[in-house]
Amino acid sequence: MIAIDVATAARSLEGESPLSILEWASKHLGSRVTFATGFGAEGCVLIDLIGRNRLPIDLFTLDTGVLFPETYALWRQLETRYGVTIRAVLPEQTLEQQAETHGPTLWTRDPDRCCEQRKVLPLRRALTSGGFDAWITAIRREQTPERADAKVVEPDHKFGLLKINPLVTWTHDDVWAHIYANDVPYNVLHERGYPSIGCQPCTSAIVPGENLRAGRWRGAGKKECGLHVATPAQAKEKP
């Protein structure tokens, strides 16, 4: 891994624009940095910045096989708009194979295990086998209490890489102001009551007054998929 003083980088980049942070990542990490997008509004902002400024940052998404049709359509729209390729990273098992191993609709019975199989393990494989030193995320501090202490640059001990969060200081309004000002493509589901969009079986619309992530894993007592913050099951597995 490239030698970077993470604490110093985090302090110096705090308050800088997302573009400046992305340019810093490109300068210091070159082809060894990647962006994993889930095609949320925040991810679309970062793809816009990367694409319009021709930054040499690898792009991929975790194609779980159960994304919304609207998400797949947005994927292709972004590639066409910005002239980029967003690689698909697939789980080791198809949905049919997963059903044979764990039973059908695993997400209804054990959503943590389903996320582990279709998101966490594929992400680990993509990051550790791709020759990357750092990965970029679209998380923001105000999204959840678990993300409130996230830094612009921080070590990701789970994957053994640097984690770069260019939008970490932005608000929900900052994100949408950028989208409207720059005519950034976004998921049409946002206009149908879905502020946070994941896999189709585990995402529902919210009603006015609910937290913006209330529609994720509704009724399951689950807040995170395990990519950025450990699930209770993952926490129990720590030595």
CB count, 10 Å around CB of 118? 25
Domains of the chain, by residue range, sit at 6-237
pLDDT band at 130 (very low <50, low <70, confident <90, very high): confident
Phi, psi at residue 226, to the nearest 5°?
105, 0
CA dihedral (228, 229, 233, 234) positive or negative: positive
| Over residues 7-26, mean pLDDT | 95
Say what percent of the chain tops pLDDT 70.
92
Cα–Cα distance, 81 to 186 (Å, whole number): 12
**In 3-state terms, the chain is what percent helix, strand and coil (to 5)?**
45, 10, 45
Mapped onto helix, strand or coil, the DSSP state of residue 195 is coil
Tens digits of residue pLDDT in 157-181: 888 899 999 999 999 999 999 999 9
Residue type, 32: R
Determine the average pLDDT of the residues in 127-134.
91
Average pLDDT over all residues of the chain: 91
225 noted as active-site residue: yes
Contact (Cβ atoms closer than 8 angstroms) between residue 71 and residue 43: no
Q: What is the residue type of 166?
A: P
Kind and range of the H or E element at 81? helix 69-82
On whether the 6-237 domain is CATH 3.40.50.620, my answer is yes
| Residues 110, 91: Cα–Cα separation, whole Å | 17
Here the tokens at position 51 are 């694409």
108-112, 190-194, 215-219: the lowest-pLDDT one = 215-219
DSSP track, 86-140: -EEE--SS-HHHHHHHH-S-HHHH-HHHHHIIIIIHHHHHHHHHTT-SEEE----
Find the catalytic residue in 114, 199, 202, 225: 225
Give the tens place of pLDDT for each residue, 43-99: 999 999 999 999 999 999 999 999 999 999 999 999 999 999 999 999 999 999 999
What mean pLDDT do residues 147-152 have?
Answer: 92
